[in-house]
Amino acid sequence: MTQDYNPYRTLALESPSELFHEASKLRESDSAIGRAVWSVNTSPVIRQVISKPATSYFGYPLLHLPREHSRPDRPLAEVLLGRRSARVYTAESVELAELSALLYYSVAVTSTNTDSNGIVWGQRCAPSGGSLYPIDVYCISQKVVGCNEGLYSYDPNAHGLQILAPGSHVDRISSATFLGETVAKAAVVILMAANFPRTKFKYGERAYRFTLLEAGHIAQNMLLVAESLGLGALPVGGYVDDQLNAIIGADGCEQAVVYAVIIGRLPKESTAQKT
C-alpha cells in the first residue's frame, strides 16, 4: 500500500514552521537555557525587575474601569457548552461594566503573592510561563458606553485604559481582517500583542511557544466571559500582520499582534438560540 500523496511532505526541510519547531525544542543538552532559568529564579534583583510585567504609556490619561463590573453568574458547564464564534452583531453598544469584566477575568492582576524575598507578584486568571506575562492587550473601543472611540492600552495593574489614539479605527481593522461588516457592527476589538523580549531573555527560542500559548489562554477566558454575559465574540487569527501592528505602533519583531477578538451585541434571535 502506498502512502497518500502529501505535497507538503517534500517541503518539510524548507518549511519555516518545521524549522522553528525543531529549533525551539528543549533537549537534555540545553545547558544555556537551564542556566538562564536558574539565574532568573535565584536572583532577587532580576525577580524584582520582572515582578510587575506590563507596558506603560507615561503621560497618557487613564480611564479607570469599574471594579463593580458585571460578574458572570451562569454555571461553568452551561457557559462552556454555549460558547460559539459569532460574526453577526446589532451595532448596539456594550456597557463599560461589561468591557471591564471581559478584561478583568482575562488579563487583570486579580491578586498578589509575596515570595520569600519580599517581592510582590501580581497573579492573573490566565497562566503565563514564569509569570512573565508577555502579552499586552489593546482595546479599540467603537460602541462602549462611557468610553469614547479610540485605541486604548490596557493596564492590568491599575485595571484601566490609556487612550493612545482617539477616533475611529474601523476601516483599518476591517482592511486588516477582511471582516468589514462584522467589525463595523462590533462594540470593541481586542488586540493581543506579544512583547517577546519580556520572556525570551529567560526561555530563549522556547519563549515563542509560551507566548502563543498564553495568547490562547487569554482569548479563551475572554470568549467564555463574553458568553456568560450574553455577548458575541469572534477570535481572529487570520489578518494582515503589518496592518494590525501599525495600528498599535508595533515593529513586528520585538512586539507583534498575535491574536485578536471581536466582541459585540448579539441579535435577539441569536441570543435565544444560544441560551
Q: What would the pLDDT profile of 176-218 be if each residue is shown by its tens digit?
A: 999 999 999 999 999 999 999 999 999 999 999 999 999 999 9
Among 181, 140, 133, residue whose Cα is nearest residue 164: 140
**Predicted confidence (pLDDT) at residue 11 exceeds the cutoff of 60:** no
Residue 171: its pLDDT value, please?
97
Quick one: average pLDDT of 160-167?
96
Higher model confidence: residue 58 or residue 248? 248
Quick one: average pLDDT of 231-260?
97
State the pLDDT confidence band at 122, using cuts at 50, 70 and 90. very high
State the pLDDT confidence band at 248, using cuts at 50, 70 and 90. very high
Rounded CA separation 271/274 (Å) = 5
Backbone angles phi, psi at 109, to 5 degrees: -75, 110
Residue 17: its pLDDT value, please?
87
Higher model confidence: residue 165 or residue 13? 165
Quick one: average pLDDT of 223-245?
97
Domains of the chain: 10-274 (3.40.109.10)
Task: Kindly report the three-state secondary structure assignment for every residue of 232-253.
Answer: EEEEECCCCHHHHHHHHCCCCC
Return the amino acid letter for 177: T
Complete DSSP assignment for 89-114: -----B-HHHHHHHHHHHHSEEEEEE
Quick one: average pLDDT of 227-247?
97
State the pLDDT confidence band at 149, using cuts at 50, 70 and 90. very high
State the pLDDT confidence band at 9, using cuts at 50, 70 and 90. low
- Mean pLDDT score of the chain: 91
**Predicted confidence (pLDDT) at residue 2 exceeds the cutoff of 70:** no
Q: Does the pTM of the predicted model rise above 0.95?
A: no
Structure confidence by residue, pLDDT tens digits, 89-121: 999 999 999 999 999 999 999 999 999 999 999
Structure confidence by residue, pLDDT tens digits, 34-49: 888 989 988 999 999 9
